Structure 1
């Protein structure tokens, strides 16, 4: 079954461009490869400057990729609301499950059952939270990191209104 792509004024290219414009993402080479409604994929090249003392991909590079791809999935879920809102990461729960060798890839997904309630909460209160699950894999398709990202969206009107 195919997953829905963005059908709003915020195209996948806009999400990719916004995340690629973050200087740290650009420095490490983190890129978003695809974005849909509540999901995204990304990658990070194997760069020797970002290896650790074991010669594998540094945990910081994996973390950065996980945070970026979770943000892209969140943006995909709230694409229609982002122009008037501020998204913030509240927490990233990480578990390193293996050493990462080679270029990294990641996939982030919101739980499909959580999307309607989050959108309804934002419509009613101007605030919403959404959990995004991420898997980071290495060049041999072995999982190196599991992440649960907790994102928060607040309308600019509720910020001004205090």
Structure 2
């Protein structure tokens, strides 16, 4: 399977401040994110950034940041990007991650930063699918960098959103 590549940022649309705060709060309220120190630093329509500190408790046997902490950051920042894409619908929908394909490309030293971005060409179709069918899927690309700004992980997240109305109709 070819390794994912992270495209150059193409989505820059901002969200209203109250939507940014709602997406951040949803991700920050997940106990595991709080335990590891994962925070979402910015959110827009289909994109997000986040960070995770280098904490001795979450280092591996090599003294670098454990793959689990990197994975958690990638999942959280991809969820925030997905949340930014569907912010108008989150009060009446259930988001779920279906899959997170990861590729660790280097040892992580120092605090982590990450950027997640929906594939711009797929976003309009996903929004239309949710509008017409009450469900949508969207792929989010993630790049995680360490304290030296070296890419240490790439990921591709597959997210699914389903309206509560479609859940009740089953």
Q: TM-score, normalised by structure 1?
A: 0.96
Aligned length: 161
Q: Deviations over 1:114-151 (max 9, x none)?
A: 11000000111101000000000000001110000000
SS in 2 for 1:11: helix
Distance 2:34 2:104 in 1: 23
> Residue 153 of structure 1 aligns with which residue?
161
> Residue 3 of structure 2 aligns with which residue?
none
> Residue 125 of structure 2 aligns with which residue?
117
Q: Which of 56, 60, 64 in structure 2 is aligned with 1:56?
A: 64
User: CA RMSD for the aligned pairs?
Assistant: 1.3
- Give the 4+ runs in structure 1 shifted more than 4 A: none
| 1:7, distance to aligned residue in structure 2 (A) | 3.8
Distance 1:76 1:14 in 2: 10
SS in 2 for 1:80: helix
Q: TM-score, normalised by structure 2?
A: 0.92
Q: Which of 13, 17, 20 in structure 1 is aligned with 2:28?
A: 20
> Residue 74 of structure 2 aligns with which residue?
66
Distance 1:61 1:2 in 2: 26
Distance 2:12 2:132 in 1: 27
> Residue 111 of structure 2 aligns with which residue?
103
Contact 2:11–2:45 (8 Å) recurs in 1: no
Q: Which of 33, 44, 68 in structure 2 is aligned with 1:36?
A: 44
